[in-house]
């Protein structure tokens, strides 16, 4: 595979140029382009520039409204809602966070519920911002159905990621967990299918619920839940918070995040921001440090998110190697 090394600024620039060329407003393109660069820095290539041609295709076919303006409301003192108006989730999250952060500091805890939304990319990119603002951040997002219930074979819930980020003393997250309810993100299976590579057994199931190493077969079947029935339980929890609570489409109602069929997916997100000082004050930070140290002090042990943090540190210095074929597709969009 041929690659080209780009700086994070160059990744953000090319993503922004493609999105606006496809008909996305600068206000909507900016947060999505920024998140794309952050995702590439974290080493999650499946959700980075590889998704830009899909985003652009969806703007052009009307699956997402690139000109949408999210509408924020405050129905209760510590609860915000955002109607993404079938636009990109990133713009709605940005608008919501602008009110959520100060509200959480005032009230101790505050929630943001988002509906009529679209793929929010890597959920940890959003909760990391919450931790960098000094807040404990929890995030949940639902997705089109791709996981079958225990004992069944027909998908009912999506890969439905959840994330928690905890602030550290250095202004960076002391702990950042970001994981889906499936063994692996569906985008990774899609990536293997595009590249004609088999997937490891345990990633996906065929239409009859049997393990498969063929990504095309897995995409027609279902994703394997992480931890068996426990993964299904996590997916259901996320479905309640991100979709049922917000008024978004359930996974069984949402159109796929790939292809042009089905119209806007209208999925949802939910974020909960907690001010640590509302709990046990400074002692909270001490306990978090003790918890982290108990893991760091073990030889060979690592925390969730360590791999992404290390990749980000390297990317900030050396840039990111990007698939040339992906860059060619993006440049063709820019050139028209």
**Strand partners for 165:** 137, 176
**Active site (annotated) includes residue 10:** no
DSSP of 307-328: HHHHHHHHHHHH-EEEEHHHHH
For the chain, count helices (H), then strands (E): 11, 12
Residue 81 tokens, joined: 């809602």
Q: Select which of 12, 30, 40, 47 is catalytic.
A: 47
Q: In the numeric block, which tokens belong to residue 332? A: 């063709």
90 flagged as catalytic: no
The residue from 25, 46, 113, 163 that is catalytic is 46
Instruction: Give all strands (DSSP E) within the chain, no chain letters.
Output: 3-6, 71-76, 79-83, 109-117, 136-141, 162-167, 173-179, 204-205, 211-212, 222-223, 267-274, 320-323
Identify the burial level of 124 via C-beta atoms within 10 angstroms of its C-beta, where 0-12 means exposed, 13-18 middle and 19 or more buried. Answer: buried
Q: Which of 12, 38, 40, 188 is catalytic?
A: 188
Query: Has 188 been annotated as catalytic?
Result: yes
Please list the active-site residues. 46-47, 188
């Amino acid at each position: 595979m041929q690659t080209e090394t780009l700086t994070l600024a160059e990744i953000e620039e090319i993503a922004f140029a493609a999105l606006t060329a496809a008909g996305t407003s600068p206000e909507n393109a900016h947060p999505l382009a920024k998140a794309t660069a952050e995702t590439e820095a974290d080493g999650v290539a499946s959700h980075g520039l590889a998704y830009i041609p899909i985003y652009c295709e969806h703007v052009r076919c009307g699956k997402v409204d690139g000109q949408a303006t999210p509408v924020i409301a405050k129905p209760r003192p510590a609860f915000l809602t955002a109607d993404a108006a079938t636009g990109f989730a990133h713009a709605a999250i940005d608008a919501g966070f602008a009110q959520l952060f100060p509200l959480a500091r005032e009230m101790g805890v505050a929630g943001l519920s988002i509906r009529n939304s679209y793929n929010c990319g890597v959920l940890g990119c959003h909760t990391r911002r919450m931790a960098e603002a000094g807040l404990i951040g929890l995030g949940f997002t639902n997705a089109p159905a791709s996981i079958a219930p225990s004992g069944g074979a027909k998908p009912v819930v999506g890969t439905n990621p959840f994330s928690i980020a905890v602030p550290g003393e250095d202004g960076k997250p002391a702990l950042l967990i970001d994981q889906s309810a499936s063994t692996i993100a569906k985008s990774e299976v899609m990536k293997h299918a595009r590249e004609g590579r088999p997937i490891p057994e345990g990633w996906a199931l065929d239409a009859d619920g049997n393990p498969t190493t063929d990504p095309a077969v897995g995409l027609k079947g279902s994703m394997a839940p992480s931890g068996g029935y426990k993964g299904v339980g996590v997916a259901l929890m996320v479905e309640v918070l991100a979709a049922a609570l917000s008024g978004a489409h359930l996974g069984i109602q949402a159109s796929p995040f790939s292809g042009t069929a089905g119209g806007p997916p209208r999925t949802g997100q939910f974020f909960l921001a907690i001010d640590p000082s509302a709990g046990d004050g400074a002692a909270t930070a001490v306990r978090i440090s003790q918890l982290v140290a108990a893991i760091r002090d073990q030889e060979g042990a690592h925390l969730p998110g360590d791999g992404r943090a290390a990749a980000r540190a390297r990317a900030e210095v050396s840039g990111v190697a990007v698939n040339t074929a992906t860059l060619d597709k993006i440049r063709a969009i820019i050139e028209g």
